[in-house]
Structure 1
Amino acid sequence: MSAPDSIPPEVPARRTARVTTPDGLTIAAEAFGAQTGPDIVFIHGFSQSGLCWARQTASPLLAGCRMVTYDFRGHGASDKPADPACYKAPELWAGELDAVIRAFCLERPVLVGWSYAGRIIGDYLATFGSDGIGGIVFVDAVVSNERHLFGRCNQLMRQMCSPDVAENIAATRAFVRRCFAAPIPQSLFEQILAVNMIVPHHVRGALFGRPAEYGAALARLDVPALVVHGTLDEVVAPAMAAHIAQITPQARLDLYEGVGHAPFIEAADRFNATLAAFAREVAGKA
């Protein structure tokens, strides 16, 4: 597998918004691509931001879709409250995602969730059900706290929560490198590292310890689901993807051989073609 290209030089015109959540936080969001659907909402992972989806928002394969990215609470350009309670209740995460969907007047969007975003999608389903969405793409996503479903990076992620700056930076650098099966260009590494370091250590720490009890919500899911996972993921084990596919009625498992924790970056062309086809399929069922 060849290393992914550097950050795409051309990004289509974007439409920005500041979205207010039900609990009063301000969330930074952006829309790309077509003015109408199929609609897609991209949700980033732990210590990341909406910038991670640059290979999707700039892709000609997805140009016919209306794509929305956002920085969830505590991340990127969104509000970063210090109170740990702002990151605990499922209703907070669900309400935030619902507010983004409503702000852009999206119609039954496909939710694309990477890593930690599997929890956010689970929170949304448990709170609102699936009536407002058309489908889900789980990307190396977390839906359970069972230890055997994770890789070998948990200790690094704990060290990323340290107030000790040297320890925090060292752990973050190591974690970013282990997200990929092959070395990535220096410019991309620097961007990902910079985005990670925007997230305060106490916000990172507040994301831990939340229950992940999404089995019931996934078992009653009545919209199509695609479960994408890299076979060399060291952060979330491929067993997590198998678990999602097993308990979710309409799920299809799509494993990426030789790819790590970020298939949408490491194998962007394949991922974008698959997502475009899935979005069209879901739109056809609306």
Structure 2
Amino acid sequence: MSSEPVVKTLQSSDGTPIHAEFMGDVQKPCLVFVHGLNMSSVAFDGMFRDSSLLREVCMARYDLRGHGRSGKPEDPEAYKSSLYADDFVTLMREFGYTKPILVAWSYGGTISCDIYASLSADTLAGVVYLCAVPYIAPPMFPDSITPPTVALIQSQMAGTDVASYLRDKTAFIDAIWQDIDNVDYRLRLTWLAPGFVQTPQVMRNVVTRPQDPTKLLEAVGNGVPVLMLYGDADKMVSGAFVAEKMQPCCTNAEVHVVKGGGHAPFFEHQEEVVRELLKFVDRIKTSGKP
């Protein structure tokens, strides 16, 4: 197996370029990592280098439309739920895998809603909500998000002046970390950069796009395996709120709380998160779901 990922720029159904990467053997269970708001797939660099994961699974990651190295259309019509599902299908076809496990971080959790709204109910083998918001509609959005984070999102959508826009982008990303003072400066810049290439209009498109969670809730109610994993010191999303609202809808769900974990436990508590991911993969394999 190559130690370097396959990196490609794909074309989605509407022509939007989608930056994507794949690593591993497609005969193994596949994890598809989806990043959060203002971010890109660079957030998962550590996971893509993790030897425990590389032994057991193949992995894919991509930059969502409106983010990172993917296209950032200004037209709100380019952010329809069906197009997010098309982006995912394009990724699956290019890299040749079926029934992956979605590992969705933060805003990336909303992609599960897009997938189930437009694709078949057996598209995914399971869903991991990693400090994630499952869909953009009440009660999940905005109630699962902390008030300071809501204020930062609203100000970025308004984009009244360049200085405040960049200031709020920086404050948003800094809140991801449990202890920003201990974050390597170069790494901090790497995580900050993707948000700076978005315009206020793109932010509005991403955050206000309509979603219908009906089919997602049907799927988890019919037994799609779900893992809700979050840090109990998250400054941005209330994982406890998400679990409280989602658990009654699920028939095959587990919750794991990372003690002292912030909004990026896969970075600050990587070993623990990898262990829980592999336990989830094994549970799905054992149950015969893939």
TM-score, normalised to structure 1, is: 0.89
Moved more, 214-223 or 75-84: 214-223
Structure 1 gap segments, 5+ residues each = 1-10
2-structure distance, mates of 1:106, 1:216? 23
SS in 2 for 1:29: strand
Letter in 2 for 1:233: D
Residue 42 of structure 1: aligned partner:
33
SS in 2 for 1:141: coil
Moved more, 264-273 or 208-217: 208-217
Deviation at 1:98, TM superposition (A): 1.6
Residue 197 of structure 2: aligned partner:
198
Equivalent pairs counted in the alignment come to 275
SS in 2 for 1:171: helix
2-structure distance, mates of 1:35, 1:215? 31
Greater relative CO, 1 or 2 (CA 8 Å, sep 6+) = 1
Is 1:151 equivalent to 2:156 in the alignment? no
Please list, as runs of the form range in 1=range in 2, the aligned pairs for 1:59-138 lying within 5 A after superposition. 59-64=50-55, 65-87=57-79, 89-138=80-129
Structure 2 gap segments, 5+ residues each = none
Distance 1:111-1:142 versus aligned 2 partners, 3 A rule:
same
Deviations 1:65-100 (A, max 9, x none): 11001011111111111212211x211111111211
Moved more, 211-220 or 11-20: 211-220
CA RMSD of aligned residues (A): 1.9
2-structure distance, mates of 1:212, 1:259? 29
Deviation at 1:142, TM superposition (A): 1.0
Is 1:170 equivalent to 2:171 in the alignment? no
Residue 224 of structure 2: aligned partner:
223
TM-score, normalised to structure 2, is: 0.88
8 Å CA contact 2:117–2:214 kept in 1: the answer is: no
Letter in 2 for 1:176: I
Letter in 2 for 1:231: D
Among 19, 22, 31, the alignment partner of 1:31 is 22
SS in 2 for 1:41: strand
Letter in 1 for 2:113: G
Letter in 1 for 2:77: A
Letter in 2 for 1:159: S
Is 1:52 equivalent to 2:43 in the alignment? yes
Deviation at 1:19, TM superposition (A): 1.8
8 Å CA contact 2:26–2:96 kept in 1: the answer is: no
Deviations 1:230-281 (A, max 9, x none): 1122221121233222312211011112112111112111111211222233
2-structure distance, mates of 1:163, 1:86? 23
2-structure distance, mates of 1:68, 1:199? 23
SS in 1 for 2:207: coil
Letter in 1 for 2:53: L
Residue 271 of structure 2: aligned partner:
269
